[in-house]
Amino acid sequence: RKKAGEGCSLPESSWEERLANAVTPLWRLPYQEQLQVKYESQRKILQTLASHLEELGIEAQKHGGLCCPLQPVIPSPIINGYRNKSTFSVNRGPDGNPKTVGLYVGTGRARNIVCVKANHVENIPPKHKQVAQCYEEFISRSPLDSCILFHEGGHWRELVVRTTSCGHTMAIIIFHPQELGQEALATQKALLKEFFTCGPGAVCALTSLYFQESTMTRCSHEQSPYQLLHGEPHIFEELLGLKFRISPDAFFQVNTAGAEILYQVVGELCQANRDTVLLDICCGTGTIGLSLARRVSKVIGVEVIEKAIEDAKWNAAFNGISNCKFHSGKAEVVLPQLLASWEDVQPLVAVVNPSRAGLHYRVVRAIRNCRSIRRLLYISCKPEGEAMRNFLELCCPPDPGKKLAGEPFAPMLAIPFDMFPHTVHCELVLLFTR
């Protein structure tokens, strides 16, 4: 395997180079240097947290100006082509082709967006690039236009590709119906199915082909159902000896090999035993809770995406795990009710893995006000963003005005994981105790 930055040659200032710089800004650096860049960025985040805690009058344990010890970045086992999910856009390419399938360079605000094919982008696997190329071939033959701006008409929009280490491939075609009737829609679905099963797209060997009629930037399954055109309704992944079912919109860590290491370390940090109840908040398809289920007495999972909870329940049953209960709904609504029934029952360990938007304030409040939670693991892909607000809410002194009555948490250890080689992003696990 080539090291990052070795043997990479793109024409200077070409569109390919501009896309690589936008999507994978560290692609030129040898991998060890990438890890060092990420370590420094995580260090700055912990320095910022330490100074915010001081402003709140909290004496943070000083560790070289940090709020807690920071371990070296744990590297990804796979450096190139590690993504198991890619989202491709349809827009004008550098040559003016309005049906280019690729990734964006530029911004909507500056009105300089160009869609560039992603064939050279190092974190996307060849299978994803192959499906994108076939989708472009299909829409180039179609008399229907691409949907570049909703209000200007057009139909062909995004393509989502998901793959697993089991060799499964799911493609999801996002389509704006505009004024098309059911008969015209049925024709397009039939053409897509034919292309990917009998036509040139058959080379992709899709396990699942989905179609979604979407009039918004992003639609959930509840807002606009994913329609299975061909193949199996789910794809399957294996992780830490367990088998997981994945629906079209279910969350699953984008780097499967990296996720295995992440979950193993999370298991160690939980210090859970047979008396422990594990709260898996924002649990997705249940990967974290299920991977730790055999160490604890009970797992309680909460997730807003209903289909992901269906997957989590299936995953538990398929893997013969009977001590997990998964709840569908907004964590800020479900969690306070759940915790009320667990107050003072047994030791609780919480693991939270929210989206970039962080945890809702009521979720933090429910965690703070539950005395049984002594240990909390916060997994964040953007700790410098909204997660920072959560860290301060967890650690600030009790505040009756904000209904924060519980004893504050304190940061004890930070471990960064490189789940996203070639990019500036890092997954940070912060251990809080009280």
CB-based burial label for 329 (10 Å; 0-12, 13-18, 19+): middle
192 in Cβ contact with 212 (< 8 Å)? no
Give the C-alpha separation, 358 to 385, whole Å: 8
Residue 230, strand partner residues: 209
Residue 255 among known ligand-binding residues: no
Strand partners, 413: 431
Cross-strand partners of 411: 432
**Is 427 annotated as contributing to ligand binding?**
no
Length of the chain: 434
Within 10 A of 375 (CB to CB), how many other CB atoms are there?
20
281 burial level (CB within 10 Å; 0-12, 13-18, 19+): buried
Q: Which residues have C-beta within 8 Å of that of residue 33, sequence separation ≥ 6?
A: 5, 26
Q: Which residues are 161's β-sheet partners?
A: 86, 171
Tell me how crowded residue 179 is: count the other CB atoms within 10 A of its CB: 6
Would residue 115 show up in a list of annotated catalytic residues for this protein?
no
Cα atoms in the 13 Å half-sphere on the side-chain side of 228: 13
CA distance 311 to 150: 32
- Of the candidates 68, 381, 395, 396, the residue annotated as catalytic is 381
**Distance between CA atoms of residues 326 and 338, nearest Å:** 11
Residue 353 annotated as binding?
yes
Query: Residue 265, class by beta-carbon neighbours within 10 Å (0-12 exposed, 13-18 middle, 19+ buried)?
Result: middle
Q: Which residues participate in the annotated binding site?
A: 253, 303, 353
Q: Which residues participate in the annotated binding site for S-adenosyl-L-methionine?
A: 253, 303, 353
Q: Which residues are catalytic?
A: 381
